[in-house]
Amino acid sequence: MPQDSYLFAVGRIRVKENKLMGQDRIERMLDTDSLDDALKVLSESDYGSGEQVESPYDYEKLLAAELKKVYDFIEEVTPNKELTDLFALQYDMHNLKSLIKGHYLGSQEDLPLASIGSIDLQDLTRAVKAKQYDSIPDYLAQALVKLEETFEKGFDPHRLDFFLDQLYFKRVFEVLKKHKNPFMRELFVKRVDLTNIRTLLRVKTIGEDIDFLKNLLIEGGSLDLDSLLEVLEAPIDDLLVMLKESEYIDFIEDGIRAFDSQASLTLYERQMDNYLLNYIKKRKYNPMGMEAIAGYLLAKENEIKLVRMIMVGKINKIPKVAIRERLRDLYV
């Protein structure tokens, strides 16, 4: 059950941090010549709590088991479950996207569900398939009713994704308003800002107009949304000028310029993830706050993302140098 002491939580997390994968193990995975060998290196890290896989192609089972183990541990030690649930909430939104798409498209087989989240998966399934909302939070029940009304004229999976992304951050800031945690608020403000910049770049790619972008931008960040709208149809340098006084420019300028020249968000998304990881790394030594808890969660999610990139690269026979270009920084 959750604890009431940050000192206890941070102490437990410091032990767990010693078991995070370092650069040497990531490099060993990357340098292997086969998928089997990469999986052997991963197994040295005790991934997946003993989950057995018959084939290295089933590596996702290990990653899912590892992520669940991490969230079970956080729930065990957290002094503030409502705050740590803000991280788990993103998986609730993922599950809702999968369940709703399965409901409207008539198939669920290719839409994997996460085994973690702040809301019981059976309750989410009942809400979507049977419209039984009594076991889910009121804000979510109201959102699902609104979605059903919206899709009476036709189902749009992209609109669903944008709606639930906005709902996620709206809920986050409602909870943060209640708890008044400066670190958590600043972390999510940064996530909103960097997500909005990415959304702007994506809309540039597909050539949509300002009204389209306006419906996608998320409120709650520090960047002025009207300013983002104004630079949509302008040269990329106008966006860089707008961001010149922000704290982000030194970290993401190369990613934005790479997008402009290559129409690819790969470098930007890498720099976005690295910025957030390094932001938390500088604050993880506070023994009396959420910093270490959030840092460990983000570190493990980042680690799992790196492992997935390597395994997917091995399966698709992508050159090692190309895989390495996509890899994020590490927490340790």
Question: Locate tokens 């290719």: which residue?
Answer: 110
Confidence of residue 325 (pLDDT cuts 50, 70, 90): confident
SS3 content of the chain, % helix, strand, coil (to 5): 70, 0, 30
Tokens matching residue 168: 């996620």
How does 87-104 read in b/e, with b if 16+ C-beta sit within 10 Å? bbbbbbbbbbbbbbbbbe
pLDDT score recorded for residue 152: 86
Confidence of residue 207 (pLDDT cuts 50, 70, 90): confident
Tokens matching residue 266: 């790969």
Separation of CA 35 from chain center: 26
pLDDT (mean) for 91-113: 83
Do residues 96 and 164 make contact, with C-beta atoms less than 8 angstroms apart? yes
Q: What is the CATH number of the domain that holds 213?
A: 1.20.1690
Residues in Cβ contact with 92 at an 8 Å cutoff, skipping those fewer than 6 apart: 117, 118, 119, 124, 140
Q: What is the CATH number of the domain that holds 44?
A: 1.10.132
pLDDT score recorded for residue 107: 64
Q: What is the CATH number of the domain that holds 108?
A: 1.20.1690.10
Question: What's the total number of domains in the chain?
Answer: 3
Q: Which amino acid is at 52?
A: Q
Asked if residue 102 is part of any domain, the answer here is: yes
Rounded to two decimals, what is the model's pTM? 0.91
**114 and 57 fall within a common domain:** no
Range of the domain at 149: 83-179
Question: Locate tokens 């390094």: which residue?
Answer: 278
